[in-house]
């Protein structure tokens, strides 16, 4: 079956590839800006200017929003149908040993998609949204790569997880049930049947063969996905190895990320040109095998289409004409795409989604993504990488010294068992806190709070000092507050803790010191907790209600530990005051470019790399 599929695809392969390239260029030139324009119109129609965490509920409460969503869905259906019908036509020509060209493929796809406008064919929309996902399993369409994914949709999902999860599950089940209609477009396109008759014919020949159709399609897409992941991993590893040897440490991470983007983009384009034609080649082979007897093997295809197919190939003059059509279409599409990119880069076109860019970036335990956590190396690197605030953890030794380490036991970062509270400062200072991270940092020591305060004072660094009280402590909170006073550091730090009792004690000792209450989970009216000036909340638990409660009490919201680009953008929608992250430089970049389009972001990075 696979061999037959390759043979069928190979017959008109060059023209199919040209059609895929041509079609995706046209789609990118027309579909992407059109969809973004409709989304912007939907925002305006809902009576709001920008989508933010505060306006998204109002956006989805507007009936006009769903009208625009339906129009966008219709556009996507037509877009996918042109691609599908064009491929089916090209593969049918191959089955009948007929050559075709990309122009004929394109116009036959457009012809069949235009038939959707007839009332009797309107049901094809339902078919497309339930069946086509199987033929685009790996990627819905390479043509929509330029669309910037609206992050507010992810925010809305998080607010209604159970309901949306149930809807998605029901949709997936419906898709599997509808696999019997997998050959609807074949009958609709090749025999000019209306949708109702085409679905009935498809159901007749797939009655006992659904799994034999479904499983190979899923396997084809899975294999292509694995191949792409493999080659992407190999290419990324090679690029990282080359870059590591020729660029500086700071440039390495930026250039590595750029290389990953370029490699992934190239693989995505390549796979988008091959995955769908391969899926339809397999489906077409199954269709011809199963439809024997359902319709006569020599049943004439729609005469008007047959005449068009002959017409496009009948003379050298026509072939030259079609070559000119292809060339001019590609040039026009490139010009439109170029203009679209220009509008995006100059901020004249894009989705009206406003991400707050005022949030500061807090380096979690220093730049712990690139250096051993809570060491002077990590603190210095965080400062070099433009962190606004540096977060450290403080524990008390047996002899009353204050050292910067997160865990009560040093085992995770030094390999030595025991408790910090039962070790002297001299014992702690002998521990190697860098070797676990890499050989480069072998011999890095656990710093004292005094060392960090001295460095921070000299370099004007704002610290987020997390208090980690333990049963072995003697004069823990009082001693730390005394050091803050000694260094006159009251306006240059925040004392934070998961222990509300500790921050209460800080306020009792000095009401002017800013405090932060750290929470993994938050419920109820937390904003009224009087001893906390800031609430530091795990990013997965940030919600609109909690934000409103904190703001109503005139307090600040920090969120931790946020490392993925998507998560950073999600918390920006809530207008948080600080983002705590392991990678301060990368997070600063995300915040800086949060309101850029995908294309703008990519091109600006490309320019900066040179």
The share of the chain scoring above pLDDT 90, in percent, equals: 30
pLDDT score, position 142: 38
pTM here? Answer: 0.54
* Strand pairing report for 493-497 and 462-467: parallel
pLDDT exceeds 60 at position 457: yes
Catalytic residue among 79, 186, 406, 539: 406
Average pLDDT, the chain: 78
Torsion over CA: 43, 44, 45, 48 (sign): positive
Of 609 and 431, more confident = 431
The strand pairing partners of 295, in sequence order, are 292
Catalytic residue among 15, 79, 186, 364: 364
pLDDT score, position 413: 95
pLDDT score, position 219: 75
pLDDT score, position 117: 76
Collect contacts of 53-60 with beta carbons under 8 A, ≥24 apart: 53/152, 53/155, 53/544, 53/547, 53/573, 53/574, 53/575, 54/544, 56/152, 56/155, 56/156, 56/573, 57/544, 59/152, 60/156
**CA 217 – CA 182 distance, rounded (Å):** 11
Residues near 413 by beta carbon (within 8 Å), at least 6 away in sequence? 372, 373, 374, 405, 406, 407, 433, 436
pLDDT exceeds 60 at position 460: yes
Phi/psi of residue 67, nearest 5 degrees: -65, -45
pLDDT score, position 600: 44
Question: CATH 3.20.20.190 in the chain, residues?
Answer: 360-594
Phi/psi of residue 295, nearest 5 degrees: -135, 150
> For residues 469 and 476, is the Cβ–Cβ distance under 8 A?
yes
pLDDT score, position 196: 84
192: left (phi over 0), alpha (psi -120 to 50) or beta: left
**CA 106 – CA 322 distance, rounded (Å):** 11
pLDDT score, position 251: 62
Mean pLDDT, rounded, for 304-324: 52
Phi/psi of residue 351, nearest 5 degrees: -75, 140
The upper half-sphere exposure of residue 363, i.e. CA atoms within 13 Å in the direction of its Cβ, equals 34
Class of the domain covering 360-594: alpha beta
Residue 347 catalytic?
A: no
Residue 370 catalytic?
A: no
**CA 455 – CA 449 distance, rounded (Å):** 10
* Strand pairing report for 578-581 and 360-364: parallel
Q: What digits encode the pLDDT tens for the residues 102-125?
A: 888 888 888 888 887 787 887 777
């Amino acid at each position: 079956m696979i061999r037959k599929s390759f043979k069928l695809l190979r017959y008109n392969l060059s023209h199919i590839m040209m059609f895929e390239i041509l079609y995706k260029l046209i789609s990118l030139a027309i579909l992407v800006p059109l969809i973004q324009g409709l989304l912007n119109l939907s925002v305006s129609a809902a009576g709001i200017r920008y989508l933010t965490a505060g306006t998204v509920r109002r956006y989805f409460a507007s009936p006009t929003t769903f009208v625009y969503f339906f129009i966008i869905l219709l556009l996507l259906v037509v877009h996918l149908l042109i691609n599908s019908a064009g491929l089916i036509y090209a593969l049918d020509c191959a089955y009948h040993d007929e050559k075709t060209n990309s122009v004929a493929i394109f116009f036959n796809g457009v012809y069949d998609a235009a038939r959707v406008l007839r009332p009797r064919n309107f049901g094809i929309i339902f078919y497309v949204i339930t069946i086509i996902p199987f033929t685009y399993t790996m990627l819905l369409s390479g043509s929509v790569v330029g669309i910037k994914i609206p992050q507010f949709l992810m925010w809305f999902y998080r607010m209604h997880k159970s309901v949306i999860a149930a809807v998605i599950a029901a949709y997936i089940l419906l898709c599997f049930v509808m696999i019997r209609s997998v050959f609807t477009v074949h009958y609709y396109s090749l025999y000019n049947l209306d949708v109702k008759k085409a679905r009935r014919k498809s159901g007749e020949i797939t009655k006992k063969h659904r799994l034999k159709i479904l499983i190979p399609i899923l396997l084809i897409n899975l294999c292509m996905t694995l191949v792409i992941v493999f080659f992407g991993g190999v290419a990324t590893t090679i690029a990282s190895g080359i870059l590591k040897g020729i660029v500086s440490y700071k440039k390495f991470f930026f250039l590595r990320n750029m290389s990953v983007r370029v490699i992934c983009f190239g693989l995505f384009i390549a796979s988008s040109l091959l995955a769908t034609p391969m899926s339809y080649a397999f489906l077409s082979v199954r269709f011809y095998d199963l439809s024997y007897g359902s319709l006569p093997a020599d049943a004439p295809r729609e005469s008007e289409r047959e005449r068009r197919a002959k017409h496009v190939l009948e003379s050298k003059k026509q072939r030259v004409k079609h070559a000119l059509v292809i060339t001019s279409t590609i040039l026009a599409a490139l010009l439109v795409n170029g203009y679209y990119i220009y509008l995006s880069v100059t901020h004249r076109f894009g989705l009206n989604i406003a991400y707050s860019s005022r949030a500061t970036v807090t380096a979690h335990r220093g730049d712990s993504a690139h250096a051993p956590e809570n060491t002077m190396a990590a603190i210095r690197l965080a400062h070099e990488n433009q962190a606004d605030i540096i977060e450290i953890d403080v524990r008390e030794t047996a002899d009353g010294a204050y050292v910067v380490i997160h865990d009560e036991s040093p085992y995770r970062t030094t390999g030595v068992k025991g408790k910090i509270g039962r070790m002297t400062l001299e014992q702690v200072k002998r521990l190697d806190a860098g070797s676990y991270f890499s050989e480069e940092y072998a011999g890095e020591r656990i710093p004292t709070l005094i060392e960090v305060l001295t460095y921070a004072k000299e370099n004007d660094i704002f610290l987020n000092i997390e208090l980690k009280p333990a049963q072995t402590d003697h004069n823990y909170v009082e001693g730390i507050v005394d050091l803050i006073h000694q260094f006159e550091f009251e306006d240059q730090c925040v004392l934070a803790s998961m222990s509300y009792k500790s921050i209460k004690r800080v306020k009792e000792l000095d009401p002017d010191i800013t405090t932060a209450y750290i929470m993994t989970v938050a419920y109820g009216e937390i904003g009224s907790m009087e001893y906390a000036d800031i609430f530091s909340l795990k990013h997965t638990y940030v919600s609109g209600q909690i934000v409103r409660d904190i703001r109503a009490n005139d307090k600040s919201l920090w969120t931790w530990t946020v490392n993925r680009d998507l998560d950073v953008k999600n918390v920006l929608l809530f207008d948080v005051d600080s983002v705590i992250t392991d990678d301060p430089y990368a997070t600063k970049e995300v915040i800086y470019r949060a309101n850029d389009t995908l294309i703008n972001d990519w091109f600006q990075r490309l320019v900066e790399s040179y």
